[in-house]
Chains A and B, each alone.
Chain A
């Protein structure tokens, strides 16, 4: 199938112009054409129908980060349409929507905006050229006299809407290369837009996975093993079956599913279901024991993740030695929308509705269970009621579980996790221990650094990336590995111990940086204090070759009045960290009351390169800061005999309105490489808060969360 016939088939299928971003890339065309011929899965990013409906298809999913608005902005600036003329939809699963860098269909790694910056602009530009050509052809007006504005081509004295030109534009050959507009011509990019999805998210119309309903759909709750990794030994469903509304009880690999007319009935059924469990090896998991074991491990050298010179020898020669151990607990992502997935198995096909960050992987996972080809499984991606990494499981846990239930029951089923399931049944940010020894020279600058980290490997657990290269999982060490501070340390060693546990672990908003930034930035504070130097000034001296760290730090120090002293009872701390290509500096202001810290104000500066949607970037900084605040103050799951001790929001606390500080965000005016915004504010938040607590109390906190330490002001 050649390019032209693909476009024609696109026109036939959609009744208009179908533009795929991949069209200019000839090498991808063959695959594209094949899938297009397979059926009406519009494997394109833009569809202009003859009725002038302009639809933008999102290759990435909306989970709060605002991509529902940002991707259409990129396209609209080249297509010459107003955002209010555009309808936005999540795409289905197709190779055409694969991540431009990662090669699978994924929303993650804070990568949507930079990875789609060219592809979406190209799509808009390609369409605009074709529409202009169609207008020139129809009107007989020379193409240079055809102008586009707000979805209309003006050709001499004639005006055509894009919809009127769509059928003709679809027949024109697609240009290989299209010029993109200069920065000065951007209307949305760099200026921003209000969120397109705000309306449906304020009147109850927005459909999340949880909101899928259709006649005959049943609801399933699963009784999961109380001990992590446990299995069903036997069960008695007599009482559960007697509950009004309960239809079926089925055993699946992960437990026993109670299927009922509605959630309430399924929940009542699950309460009286009797299951005997085989706890398995997980029953020996105890957080206190794990802490001791990991501390012992981290006191030894792990596999080298980064090394220079001889840290062991250099430490013995240092003028001063600072040595610390840090402990980080397991954490649940706890998105507001509990996990759920709706599955309808039909003859030779299956339809799935869910909120997922990995629709392509989920499609394959579902197909495997059903002995279908992936393309026989249709995934409908709803709005995600929060993701934070939890809806990106390489093993597709919640989709696979729902498919097993639907397969066993033979009925369409919506599987719903309770909040307790979310806390107790995985996945988690791994438990980590760091052991750090820093040697200082006579000027109190670091000259030797030994840093060993112990924790489970997320990548190994994912099972889709093959064996770890040299035994190193970068998601365990990122943020220590590559730290700007280690550049000037002639002798350093970063070691990693990949531990094995039955606990399922996963990326959690900002992944390894959730703990590595904490260690590096609280240690920097400790070093500055040891040197008797101001923590901002001390960092500046180490950022000589790191202009972007420095720019973020300087901006926040300036805007946040770092040098100005605070009123009595208020204390401040600072932290700077790069994650996902963006550089974030934070100043936190705290007070101590009744043994607890209250965070009053957070100032934040970010260098993310071009901020495509500046207010969207600010919203993500606010979001990341409050996420980081929750993690710092309260985040902790504890295991006793393999059982997660936390249950729900009453014992796994989330920061609330009364704990939400004033937040001020400043964006560095930057032409540097674009980075992400969704995660990078999380890492520096906890260390900035804890550094402020040190200023208040004179005590360092090495174990998160902060709530486990009773705080008292220093005398």
Chain B
């Protein structure tokens, strides 16, 4: 039995320690916002935060998360009001939407570490996340907007 804190809630999990965190989150804990896209850390759809760092949960063994803090898209904000989520809606970023949980979780770490990312910073932080619908131009615009929202939020 492993204990993981997911989105602030402590959870007991009965899983093979080698089981990827992705499948623990989805199949054992029923949180389906985190997506399966490739299974080999190539697409980023499964990105979650492990102690605040972006990890590809499809290749992260659950044993690595034991006793740690995991945040999924469901825990990014309480009211869908993270600056990124607000900007995502404003710029109509999602198309099919399948990759967007992972995009947002990657972008959230970028924005926390780098409150005013340049285009190059965005390229560096976001190139691990594939979007087959090609929403990249809007993701870029929305990250810039979210940075601005975050700045304004910090000032007020």
Contact = CB atoms under 8 A, between A and B. Distances in A.
Contact of B94 (A197, A219, A616, A663): A197
A385 B132 CA distance: 9
Given A210-B32, A334-B132, A627-B132, A202 B96 contact: no
Interface string A390-418: 00000000000000000000000000101
A658 B100 contact: no
A386 B133 contact: yes
Interface string B127-138: 111111111111
Interface string B31-58: 1111111111011010000000000000
A337 B98 contact: yes
A64 B97 contact: yes
B16 interface: yes
B33 A203 contact: yes
B38 A648 contact: yes
Contacts of A201: 94, 97, 100
Interface in A487-507: none
Given A336-B131, A385-B98, A623-B95, A203 B137 contact: no
Nearest to B124: A658
Given A194-B92, A663-B137, A386 B98 contact: yes
B2 interface: no
A186 interface: no
Nearest to A261: B27
B72 to A, nearest CB: 7
A662 B136 CA distance: 10
Nearest to A206: B97
Nearest to B99: A336
B19 A264 contact: yes
A43 interface: no
20 contacts: A64-B94, A66-B95, A201-B94, A204-B74, A210-B32, A263-B26, A335-B96, A385-B96, A385-B97, A386-B96, A386-B98, A419-B39, A648-B42, A649-B130, A650-B42, A656-B129, A657-B127, A657-B129, A657-B140, A658-B127
Interface string B101-130: 100100000000000000000111011111
Q: Which 8 A-B pairs have the closest CB atoms?
A: A204-B33, A626-B134, A385-B98, A201-B97, A64-B95, A64-B96, A660-B136, A262-B27
Nearest to B79: A203
A355 to B, nearest CB: 9
A198 B94 contact: yes
Interface in A475-528: none
Contact of A336 (B33, B34, B96, B122): B96
B70 interface: no
Given A194-B90, A202-B89, A655-B134, A649 B97 contact: no
A419 B104 CA distance: 22
Given A654-B43, A657-B122, 13 more contacts: A64-B97, A195-B94, A201-B94, A202-B88, A202-B89, A202-B100, A335-B98, A336-B45, A416-B36, A419-B40, A419-B43, A627-B134, A649-B130
A623 B135 contact: yes
Interface in A598-651: 615-616, 619, 622-627, 629, 648-650
A649 B38 contact: yes
Contacts of B147: none
Q: Is the interface of B mostly helix, strand, loop or mixed?
A: loop
A148 B32 CA distance: 41
A337 B37 contact: yes
A649 B89 contact: no
Contact of B92 (A65, A337, A615, A660): A615
Nearest to A262: B27
Interface size class of B (residues with CB under 8 A): 35 or more
Contacts of B68: none
Tell which of A336, A385, A622, A656 has the most Cβ of chain B within 10 Å. Answer: A336
B32 A338 contact: no
Nearest to A200: B97
B150 interface: no
A62 B95 CA distance: 9
B137 A660 contact: yes
Contacts of A387: 96
A657 B72 contact: no
A15 to B, nearest CB: 30
Nearest to B74: A204
A657 B126 contact: yes
B103 to A, nearest CB: 9
B76 interface: yes
A658 B124 CA distance: 7
Nearest to A260: B27
Nearest to B75: A204
Most buried by A among B27, B28, B42: B27
A626 B135 CA distance: 8
Given A654-B130, A658-B127, A203 B85 contact: yes
Given A202-B85, A205-B33, A419-B40, A656 B130 contact: yes
Contacts of B96: 62-64, 335-337, 383-387
Contacts of B76: 203
Contacts of A195: 89, 92, 94
A263 B34 CA distance: 14
B40 A658 contact: no
B33 A199 contact: no
Interface in A405-438: 416, 418-419
Contacts of A650: 40, 42
B93 interface: yes
Contacts of A648: 38-40, 42
Nearest to A620: B95
Interface string B52-74: 00000000000000000000111
Contact of B37 (A419, A616, A623, A624): A419
B139 interface: yes
A648 B126 CA distance: 19
Contacts of B39: 418-419, 648
Interface string A657-668: 110101100000
Contacts of A62: 96
A403 B80 CA distance: 37
A342 to B, nearest CB: 12
B23 A263 contact: yes
B143 to A, nearest CB: 10
A213 interface: yes
Contacts of A699: none
A388 interface: yes
Contact of A202 (B32, B35, B104, B124): B104
A201 B104 CA distance: 10
A663 B135 CA distance: 11
Contacts of A200: 97
Nearest to B90: A194
A650 B74 CA distance: 28
A474 interface: no
Contacts of B74: 203-204
B91 to A, nearest CB: 9
Given A203-B33, A204-B101, A627-B132, A194 B89 contact: yes
Interface in A363-396: 383-388
A192 B71 CA distance: 35
A263 B92 contact: no
Contacts of A160: none
A264 B27 contact: yes
